[in-house]
Each structure stands twice: as structure tokens, then as C-alpha cells.
């Protein structure tokens, strides 16, 4: 009850979620463009990158995919498309800005995904999992569509940041910390984690690859 | 009410939908064969090409995938398989015929997908989206399985034809045009669009690909 | 009723299902390692290989994915990960053991998938299909993630073994054979089929590949 009420209140994060959507869509559109996708293909990849994670989460939780309730995610992708179309040559200089949006978007996506599972009374590990799915699956779908190995499996601590945020969220919920405060703490933790990981180029080890299986 | 009644009537399109299924399955089976898939692999790719779009649509709309209600789509794939098996060397001469079935199938798939969302009272943009998903996702799944970049993202105005048809359908529904008539208009529009696009080799532009992101 | 009761009883197969999960996860983790995935990537591929088939089945049947009810599959993947991490150099010598687990796991996965559809009163062909999906889709997802053509489409009689088992199961259910007995017969049939197919290197033919489509 408490949680559901709170979640309905969090409309103030909608703007930031929108920025996150745009940032995710831009990453998809740019990668698709580099692969010579046409306008339609680039748009779809942008949209899938932005909504893919939340869609798989909602399918697994057996609820209607969130973006069917509102066209705002479609418009976010349109905005991302227009940005890439108009400023593609200058976007490299904006890489830093986009990275920031992407970090903030990731933080919020994880928070939203975690809460969706929490409201449905799933145990913490499912909530953490759903937060992670919301954060990374869009990028995985993007990479499969452009016929690359998903970057999240080989580079950066992107997914670990999501899990890290989810664990913190679990602890905060367990100790009944105020939800709005928890959300902010979790989002900032994820953003901080990613920035530090990127700055110091931290990576997970690989297993001893066996060439012959 | 009006719409649901009508949809239950449209059994006369079942034969054409079956032909569309067969045409979609043939495209999948041929591409899989070219990639040296075995019989099973080719069959699965054919089936996925034929039912993939409707399956994703039904999953998103949270209804049971249409092909679980009837084995006709399975048999359509069997027929497609037998056709490719027996006539593979002559199929090139039938490319024109298959292209026609494929066009007609696409037109009907879009109509069916659009209506499924309409019946569930979704806004027009969701209906257009679901029509498009029904039309193109089978081919996207096919291309991912055979480890190629989905052709719909780089070539032809295939998806645009679906969107074009969906927009026309929305206008017709908005003005309360008779549903059976609307369906025919939409299907013919899509078929005409694709034929013109193919004949004149129309393509969408690509975004300025950035080699270094 | 009779069937549901029986299915709730079959807890004695849980251990073997667990071993099957571990075997499937190991295959995913090893292939991911060979592709230089990091720990996280390898873990995810292992998990997806183990639960992918059952997840698609449950999504299609519109029931909650089985692994959301219990974290045992997650722990099975953790165990698989630890095994590969600690014994990766010795695993080649264990190939035989792993192959056995994999066979047994496949047999059980098919049985479980078939029964899930049967309980929901689907016709036999859907049950056979769901048994097959449970058995092969994890491996297909694994191969798509590591950017390879799914091995099940080009090699071995893996999928045919699933279909073969499903047909036998249908016959046994049709003749009201005791369910527990049927399960054992089906699982053994699948295991035997695979071992024979592997031993004699049986393969399905390919269609006449057309180089120019």
C-alpha cells in the first residue's frame, strides 16, 4: 500500500526518465546508423534500445508493457532521431552529455524495474533481477539486431552497476527507509558506480577461454 | 461490439491468410536452406517467419498466441516445406508468384494485427504499431536466426508499407467506414505500395553513418 | 485432476532437473568463455541457456516463468559457474559426464514442458511443441547471444529427439498409461535417441541450398 502510493507519486522523475529514454534511443540510433541502417531501421533500433528492457521485464511479470500505456516513449525516440539527424556531426562533442543522460537513465530504469517487481511482492532477488533486466536488455537487443555480440557481456561494469544498485535498494527496503529517499540513493549509487568504473576502466575478469570445447 | 462481430465474420480471408503464411514460410525455408540448415532448422525458420510477428504482437497484447488455437499455421509451414523440397530448383521461376503471395500475406497480416489491437481499445498508434509488428517481426526473427542483419532495417520499404497501411486504416476507422471495405482498401494499399516501391527500387535514406562512436 | 496431482508429486525428479539445469548452464558458460565474455556475460549466458526454453514456453502459455517461483535455477547457474571457474582445465575430461547430465536434463525438460501444456488442456501437437521448446530454446538463445548460428539448426538430432519423445508421450497419454511410468519411458527414450544419434553421428539432410535467391 505504502509502496504503491509512493510509486504513483513519483511523477517528478518522469522528466528524467524521459531524458534517459532519449539517451538510450540515441545510442541505438547512432549504432544503427554506423551499420548503414536506413531511417526506419535506425528508428526501430532506437526504440528497442529504449524500451526493450522494460518490455522483457513486463512480459516476465505478466503485465502490459509500459509503453503501450503512453506514447511518450515513442516521442522520446522521435526526439532522439531528430537529434541524431540534425546534429550527427556534432554528437561526438556531446558524448559527455549523452553519457550523463545515459547514466541517469540507467539509474532510473533500475529503480523503476526494481519497484515493479517489489509491488508484485516478489522476493528481493527477483526485484534485483528485474532492475537489471530493465537496465541492460534494451542494449542487448540493440546489439543482437545489429549483429554484434552484446557489449554488456564483454565490456564495462554496466550490468554490475545495476546489480549493485539493486542490492542497495534491497537493503534500504529491508530497513524500511523512506522510498523516495531510497530511490535517490540507489540512482546516485548506480551513476557513481558507472562513472568510477568508466573513469578507471574497471572490467570484470574473463573465464579461462577454452578454444576447443 | 460492431468490430468484434465483423472480425468473427472475416472467415473468407482465411484462405488468403493461409497463402500468406505459406509465402512467409517459403521465404524462411529458402533462406535457411541457403545457409545449410538441416530439415529441422529450415522448418523452424519457416514457421518462425510465418508466425513470429503475430506471436510478438499477442505476447505484447497479453493474449494467447494465435497459432496455439489452430494447427493450420503448422500445416501451412509443412506445405511450404514440401514445396521447397520438391520444387527448389524451379522456385526461382516462381519468384514472381511467391512475391505476390508475400505481398498479399503482408497486407492481411497488417490488417489482422491492427484489428487485434483495435478490439482491445488501444489508441491508433498502438494499432498501427501492432499491424507493423505482425508484418515484419517474422522476417526479423528469421534474419537473426540465420545470423544476418535484418533485411527490413536496410532494404526496401517493407515496414513503411505496413505503417502506411496502418495510417490509412486509422483514418478509415476514424470516419466509421465499413470495416470489411476498410480491410480491402488497406490490404490493397499495402500491396500497391510494396509493388511500386519494389518496381522503382525506392529506399529510405540512411543517417550519416559515424564510423567512430 | 489426475494429472495435476501426479505432477505435484514428481518432486523426486527435482534433483535430476537440477542436474540438467547445471549441465545446460555449463554448456552456456563454456561457450561464452570461449568467446571472451566476462564473468557477468558468462553467467548470464549460462542462466539463459538453462532457463530460456522454459521461459519462452511459459510466456507462450501465458503463465509466470517457472524460475520466478524459486531461486534454485539461479543457484544451479552459480554452481555451474563455480565448476567452470575451478575446473575449466579439467572439464574436457569431464565432457562425457557433462554430456550425460545434458542428455538427462534434456529428457526431463521435454517431459516437464509437455506436461505443462497438457495440464492446460492443449492438444497433443501443442504439448509436443512445448516439450521441444523447453528442450532447445535455451541453446538457441545462447547461440544468438554469442553471435553464432544456432547449432540445433545445423547439427545433431537434438530437436528430433525432443519431438520423438513428445510423440511417445502423446501415445502413452492417449492410452492412459500411468503418468510416472510414462515420464520415465519418455525420458529414457530421449536419452537413448540422443546417445544413438551422437554415437552414429546421425544427421538430418539439408535442403538443396540455393545460392542465389
Domain ranges of chain C: 2-198
Largest interatomic CA distance in chain A? 55
Residue A169: how many CA atoms within 13 Å on its side-chain side? 36
Q: For A211, which of C32, C34, C42 is closest by C-beta distance? A: C34
User: Residue A68: which H helix or E strand, with range?
Assistant: none
pLDDT of residue C209: 53
Of all residues in chain B, the one with the smallest CA distance to A75 is B125
Across chain C, what does the average pLDDT equal?
Answer: 86
Interface test with B, best of C56, C148, C156, C207 (most B CBs within 10 A): C207
Asked if B171 has any chain A CB less than 8 Å from its own CB, the reply is no
Nearest Cβ partner for C159 among B40, B64, B146: B40
Confidence of residue A140 (pLDDT cuts 50, 70, 90): very high
Phi and psi at residue B209, in whole multiples of 5°?
-60, 130
pLDDT band at residue B208 under the 50/70/90 scheme: low
Identity of the residue in A148, A153, A210 whose CB atom sits nearest the CB atom of C38: A153
Count of CB atoms situated within 10 Å of the CB of C33: 24
- Identify the burial level of C40 via C-beta atoms within 10 angstroms of its C-beta, where 0-12 means exposed, 13-18 middle and 19 or more buried: buried
pLDDT for res A177: 92
Phi, psi (rounded to 5 degrees) for C13: -85, -5
Return d(Cα B20, Cα B105) in angstroms, integer.
3
Is A210 in contact with C37 (CB distance < 8 Å)? no
Query: Is there a contact between B85 and C207 if contact means CB atoms under 8 Å apart?
Result: yes
Are A193 and A164 contacting, i.e. CB atoms less than 8 angstroms apart? yes
Q: Are the beta carbons of A101 and A22 closer than 8 angstroms?
A: yes
Three-state SS for A130-176 is HHHHHHHHHHHHHHHHCCCCCHHHCCCCHHHHHHHHHHHHHHHHHCC
The residues, ordered by sequence, that sit 6+ positions from A98 with a Cβ below 8 Å of its Cβ are: A23, A26, A27, A91
Of B63-72, B84-93, C18-27, which gets the smallest average pLDDT? B84-93
Record: contact C33-A208, CB cut-off 8 A: yes
Residue of A nearest to C91 (CA): A213
Q: Which of B126, B152, B160 sits opposite A68 (nearest CB)?
A: B126
- CA-closest candidate to residue B113, choices B92, B134, B93: B134
Shortest CA distance to C157 belongs to which of C112, C100, C205, C108? Answer: C205
How far, in Å, CA of B147 to CA of A146, rounded? 10
CA-closest candidate to residue C107, choices C172, C197, C201, C191: C191
DSSP A93: G
Q: Could you tell me which residue, B209 or B138, shows the higher pLDDT?
A: B138
Is residue B83 within 8 angstroms of chain C, CB to CB? no
% of chain C at pLDDT higher than 70:
91
- Kindly state whether A34 is in contact with chain B, defined as any CB-CB distance less than 8 angstroms: yes
Closest-approach residue (CA) in chain B for C153 = B41
**Phi and psi at residue A205, to the nearest 5°:** -70, 165
In sequence order, what DSSP letters do the residues of C30-53 get, joined into one string?
A: HHHHHTT-BHHHHHHHHHHHHHHH
Nearest to A114 by CA among A34, A179, A23: A179
Q: Is pLDDT above 90 for C110?
A: yes
Best to test chain B binding among A32, A33, A36, A41 (most B CBs inside 10 Å)? A41
Q: Which three cell numbers stand for residue A113?
A: 524495474
Model confidence at C51, pLDDT cuts 50, 70, 90, reads very high
Least confident of A38-42, A122-126, B50-54, C14-18: C14-18
Q: What percentage of chain A reaches a pLDDT higher than 70?
A: 90
Q: How far is CA B134 from the centre of its chain?
A: 6
Residue B5 contacts A, CB cutoff 8 Å: no
The neighbouring-strand residues paired with A206 are: C38
**What residues of chain A, 128 to 147, have a C-beta less than 8 Å from chain C?**
140, 144, 147
Put simply, whether C72 touches A (Cβ < 8 Å) is no
**Which residues does B42 contact at the CB level (< 8 Å), separation at least 6?**
B28, B29, B32, B33, B81, B84, C153, C206, C207
Q: Residues B145, B149, B151, B154: what is their CA dihedral angle, to the nearest 10 degrees?
A: 170
| Contact yes or no for B154 and A38 at CB 8 A | yes
Contact flag B153-A145 (C-beta cutoff 8 Å): yes
Cα A191 to the chain's mean position, in Å? 12
Query: How far apart (Å, rounded) are the C-alpha atoms in residues B76 and B20?
Result: 9
Q: Is C149 on the interface with B (CB under 8 A)?
A: yes
Contacts A87 to B, Cβ<8 Å: none
Q: Which residue bears the cell 505484447?
A: B60
Angle at B110 between CA A39 and CA B117, to 5 degrees: 100
Which residues pair with residue C206 across a beta bridge? B38
How many CB pairs lie under 8 A apart between chains A and C?
83
Kindly state the average pLDDT of the residues C88-96.
72
- Are the CB atoms for A53 and A67 separated by under 8 Å? no
Is the per-residue pLDDT at A108 higher than 60?
yes
Q: What share of chain A is helix, strand, coil (3-state, %, to 5)?
A: 80, 0, 20
> Is residue C208 within a helix (H) or strand (E), and if so which, with residue range?
none
The nearest alpha carbon in chain C to B145 belongs to C149
| In contact, A136 and A145? CB cutoff 8 Å | no
Grid cell locating C207: 535442403
Q: What is the mean pLDDT of chain A?
A: 86
Q: Do B88 and C153 touch (CB under 8 A)?
A: no
Instruction: Provide the shortest C-alpha distance from residue B91 to chain A (in Å).
Output: 29
Q: Averaged over B13-26, what is the pLDDT?
A: 81
Sign of CA dihedral B59, B61, B65, B66: negative
Polymer length in residues for chain B: 213
- Under DSSP, the state recorded for B206 is B
Q: Which residue has the higher pLDDT, A47 or B94?
A: A47
Q: Which subunits count as partners of chain A given 3+ CB pairs below 8 Å?
A: B, C
Question: What confidence tier does C174 reach under pLDDT thresholds 50, 70, 90?
Answer: very high
What SS3 string covers B26-76? HHHHHHHHHCCCEHHHHHHHHHHHHHHHHHHHHHHCCCCCHHHCCCHHHHH
pLDDT band at C163 (very low <50, low <70, confident <90, very high): very high
Q: Which positions in chain B touch A67 (Cβ < 8 Å)?
A: none
Residue B213 pLDDT class (50, 70, 90 cuts): very low
Q: Is the pLDDT of residue A209 over 80?
A: no
Q: Does C37 touch chain A (CB under 8 A)?
A: yes
- pLDDT score for A116: 92
Min Cα separation B140/chain A (Å): 8
What is the average pLDDT score of chain B? Answer: 86
pLDDT at C211 (0 to 100): 47
Mutate to test the interface with B, among A26, A27, A33, A40 (most CBs of B within 10 A): A40
pTM of the predicted structure, to 2 decimals = 0.87
ipTM for the assembly = 0.82
Q: What percent of chain B has pLDDT over 70?
A: 90
Contact yes or no for B36 and C154 at CB 8 A: yes
Q: Can you tell me the distance from the alpha carbon of B19 to that of B32, in angstroms, rounded to the nearest whole number?
A: 20
Q: At what angle do helices A158-174 and A95-119 cross, to 10 degrees?
A: 40
CA distance C69 to A121: 11
Among C38, C43, C58, pick the best mutation site for testing chain A contact (most A Cβ within 10 A).
Answer: C38
Question: How much is the pLDDT for C157?
Answer: 83
Q: Answer whether A207 sits within 8 Å of C29, measured CB to CB.
A: yes
Asked whether the beta carbons of residue C126 and residue B68 sit closer than 8 angstroms, the reply is yes
CA A129 – CA A114 distance, rounded (Å): 8
Single out the residue of C207, C140, C159 nearest to residue B37, CA to CA.
C207
CB contact under 8 A, C89 and A209: no
B55 and C CB contact within 8 Å? yes
Q: Radius of gyration over alpha carbons of chain C, in Å?
A: 17
Cβ–Cβ gap A34/B155 under 8 Å: no
Residue C186 pLDDT level (bands cut at 50, 70, 90): very high
Paired strand residues for A38: B206
Which residues of A fall within a CB distance of 8 Å from C41? 150, 152-154
Cell of A131: 532492475
Cβ contacts of C74 on chain A, cutoff 8 Å: 125
Q: Give residue for cell 510494396.
A: B194
8 A C-beta contact, residue A150 and residue A140: yes
pLDDT (mean) for B87-103: 75
* Contact assignment for C153 to B55 by CB distance below 8 Å: no
Alpha carbons C165 and C171: distance in angstroms, whole number: 10
For C206, the 3-state DSSP assignment is strand
Give B32-80 pLDDT, tens digit per residue: 888 888 899 999 999 999 999 999 999 999 999 999 988 899 999 999 9
Whether residues A207 and C42 touch (CB distance < 8 A) is answered with yes
pLDDT of residue A211: 47
| Three-state DSSP class for residue A206 | strand
* Secondary structure of A96-142 in HEC code, one letter for each residue: HHHHHHHHHHHHHHHHHHHHHHHHCCCCHHHHHHHHHHHHHHHHHHH
Our CA-based measurement puts residue C27 at a distance from the nearest CA of chain A, in whole angstroms, of 9
CA distance B17 to B112: 9
Q: What is the pLDDT of residue A212?
A: 45
A120 touches chain C (CB under 8 A): no
Report d(CA B61, CA C59) in Å as an integer: 12
Amino acid at each position: 500500500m505504502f509502496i504503491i502510493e509512493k510509486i504513483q507519486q513519483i511523477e517528478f522523475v518522469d522528466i528524467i526518465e524521459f531524458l534517459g529514454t532519449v539517451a538510450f534511443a540515441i545510442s541505438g540510433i547512432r549504432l544503427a546508423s554506423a551499420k548503414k541502417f536506413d531511417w526506419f531501421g535506425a528508428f526501430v533500433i532506437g526504440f528497442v534500445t529504449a524500451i526493450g528492457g522494460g518490455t522483457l521485464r513486463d512480459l516476465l511479470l505478466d503485465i502490459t508493457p509500459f509503453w503501450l500505456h503512453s506514447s511518450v516513449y515513442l516521442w522520446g525516440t522521435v526526439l532522439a532521431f531528430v537529434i541524431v539527424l540534425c546534429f550527427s556531426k556534432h554528437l561526438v562533442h556531446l558524448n559527455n552529455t549523452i553519457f550523463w543522460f545515459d547514466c541517469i537513465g540507467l539509474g532510473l530504469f533500475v529503480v523503476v524495474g526494481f519497484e515493479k517487481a517489489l509491488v508484485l511482492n516478489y522476493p528481493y532477488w527477483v526485484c534485483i533481477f528485474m532492475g537489471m533486466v530493465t537496465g541492460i536488455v534494451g542494449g542487448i537487443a540493440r546489439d543482437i539486431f545489429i549483429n554484434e555480440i552484446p557489449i554488456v557481456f564483454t565490456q564495462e561494469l554496466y550490468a554490475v552497476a545495476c546489480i549493485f544498485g539493486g542490492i542497495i535498494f534491497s537493503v534500504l527496503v529491508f530497513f524500511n527507509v523512506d522510498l523516495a529517499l531510497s530511490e535517490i540513493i540507489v540512482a546516485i549509487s548506480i551513476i557513481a558506480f558507472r562513472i568510477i568504473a568508466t573513469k578507471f576502466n574497471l572490467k570484470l575478469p574473463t573465464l579461462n577461454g577454452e578454444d576447443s570445447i
